[in-house]
Structure 1
């Protein structure tokens, strides 16, 4: 049986949601939050009304337990996380191997339909689409990042949906993960779709998800992306996006749109400066400390 790696962190209550989002952006397979003072006199109870959000994202002292596919991935994610200003009070409790128990299927019950706009919804296969959904993407959680629950993904999808019809457009999803952005473009009319990722699991996931949605996506390693596109989407992280600036911009036709996500608010100005030789980027959406940068060549 293969081995996953569990990283356990002690996190103050006010940073639980932000750290959880960052861990998922850093390719965690799952994140759970527990009371660090459970089974002690300091244990706290969190109660919420049925159907309503819980009053707080975590406890005064929370344990964040997150799973990674390998020790190397966990160590790299931890290094990146602890370098962030908002993680100054986050402390490592442990990093240990655990048995792989098909966590995807064990946590299915946590995933519900996700609204992107009033009429565009992401719906797991075990749920019925809501009646107001006119555009429906069927997407189950898997080993590749991208289920529509993270702010960076939602912002990309909102931008796509609000631009309207993509018929006849050539679209590149760079760092495709689950393929969610390429598939969304396809459901919105685009028929020439390419998704690339360095992770073989992402390539496989994108292929399966595209087929499940009746969308044709050419998917493979980054060298698959050839020529110029009408739209380039990249939901990754700030550092790789800086390094990829010349490559991503080389794939833009004159008049093409570039959409970048995976960025914290404080990183937007620096990233816009890196891309300035090719096009002007501006913040067009923001959610929970994350921003979306878009521009036209």
Structure 2
């Protein structure tokens, strides 16, 4: 059936314009080709659609019924083309975006209002999770990630923003009570709040501004995989936490947290964005990609090296 769609179109054009000559003028399809197409369709359907001779043109009763249904197919095809054209002209529709939990609660609460105001016809479906989503199989248009290694999937395009750093932070009240460490080794005796929830005894590797590395054994008093929670607990005098700058920037600025061993940091991961490398990306996805590249790069200048 689908191989005859062009035949239905030619037949509908001839009926709509009242003859082969008029249809030729309207469609720029030669009369001979229109005639062949209709003859082919008649052979396929095994019915007569048009009575024709050198001086008369008329459509059979069955031909009129076929014409009415052919018009529906043509209108549906035109509607599909109009839909694509409209989507291609103006950013609109739903974009599915995956972002880590901490970024959803920090950077994205600051930048998304501007995007939504700028593109009122775009709707965002946020997948807020720290797990590594499968963009292709889960139908994700775009994912923002912080990972120690970049994806190697050839089906994905990667835009790298920078390296996200972590620093040790605590409240000034905690440091007043327990003392301020002057060397990494002194962390072994402090109350540590840890992101890892797998082992009680852990080690952290810190890099000094002079390039030297220090590996320190710690015994956390609290384990939890939520960065926002750890930042809040650190601000409430519960201990020292190693946190990404993107989470602590506001609390450092307000004085809720202060840096501990400010000459040392740890790498949190590579801050990047990934999206499927397929042609014909919809404008709504394209403008979001460009917007995030602009805004997150600005953030990188503040919190990333």
Q: TM-score, normalised by structure 1?
A: 0.29
Higher relative contact order (CA closer than 8 Å, sequence separation 6+): 2
Q: Which is richer in helix?
A: 2
Q: Mark the structure with the bigger radius of gyration.
A: 2
TM-score, normalised relative to structure 2: 0.28
Structure richer in strand, relative to its length: 1
